Amino acid sequence: MSDLFAHDEPLAVAPDAYLLKGFLSDEDEMLLAEIRRLTAISPFRHMQTPGGYRMSAAMSSCGTYGWVSDAKGYRYSPTDPLTGNPWPPLPDAFLLLSQQAAERAGFHGFSPDSCLINCYAPGAGMSLHQDKDEPDRRQPIVSFSLGLPVQFQFGGSERHHPLKTFALEHGDVLVWGGRSRLNYHAVRPVRAGVHPLAGARRFNLTFRCAR
C-alpha cells in the first residue's frame, strides 16, 4: 500500500482523516531519544483492561495527563500509578510537531495535554476500538509512527463498518477528527524485523486533549 501514499500532500483516508507520509523524517532521532528519556522517568508497562486482559503493547505517557487502564476502567490521570509521581512534562518538540501535523491536516488550534507512548514488540497489536475517553471531541487525534511498520485498520463510526487497511511506516503521522473523530481503528500485530534506529520495535506517540 505504500506506493499509494508516496507523495508529500496529506492523503485523505476517511472524511477529516489524513495520512502525512514521512512527516517526521527529519526529527526521528530526536523523537526516539526523547522517548528513551521519558520512559526512564515513567517506564513502559503492560496495562490491564477492566476485564483483566493484559494489553500486548507496553505503554507510558507524558503531559499533564496520562491514559491509564485497570480494573477501575479507562481514564486519564495526572499521576503515574506506577511511580506515584506526575507524568513527565510534554516536551516542547512533541507539542510543536503535533500542532504542525494537526495544522497540515486542517485542524487549527490543537493544544494537546496528553501524549500516550506505546511500544509494540513483534506480535503486539491493538484490537478494534474508539478513542472516546476525551470530553472535547472537537479536538483531533494526532498519531506518530516510529520504528517497524505496521498495518493499520481504519473503519467507521460503528464496529461493523468496513475497515480500510494501510501501512504506517517510520516517520508517518495520522491525524483524524471531525466526522471521523469516533471512528473505530486497530493495529494489526507487528511483524518481526529490525529498524536501523528503533531496533525490533514500533513506537507510537498519540497526542490528545484530555481535558
In the chain, where are the structural domains located? 11-44+92-208
pTM of the predicted protein model: 0.94
Q: Which residues are annotated as a binding site for Fe cation?
A: 129, 131, 185
What average pLDDT does the segment 141-145 reach?
A: 98
Domain 11-44+92-208, CATH homologous superfamily name and number: Alpha-ketoglutarate-dependent dioxygenase AlkB-like (2.60.120.590)
CB 35 within 8 A of CB 44: no
Helix and strand numbers (H, E) in the chain are 2, 13
What digits encode the pLDDT tens for the residues 4-57? 444 478 999 999 999 999 999 999 999 999 999 999 999 999 999 999 999 999
78 Cβ neighbours under 8 A, 6+ residues apart: 64, 65, 66, 86, 87
The answer for 82, left when phi > 0, alpha when psi is -120 to 50, beta otherwise, is alpha
Q: Which residues are annotated as a binding site?
A: 67, 74-76, 118-120, 129, 131, 133, 159, 185, 202-208
What digits encode the pLDDT tens for the residues 175-188? 999 999 999 999 99
Determine how many CB atoms are found less than 10 A away from the CB of residue 41. 15
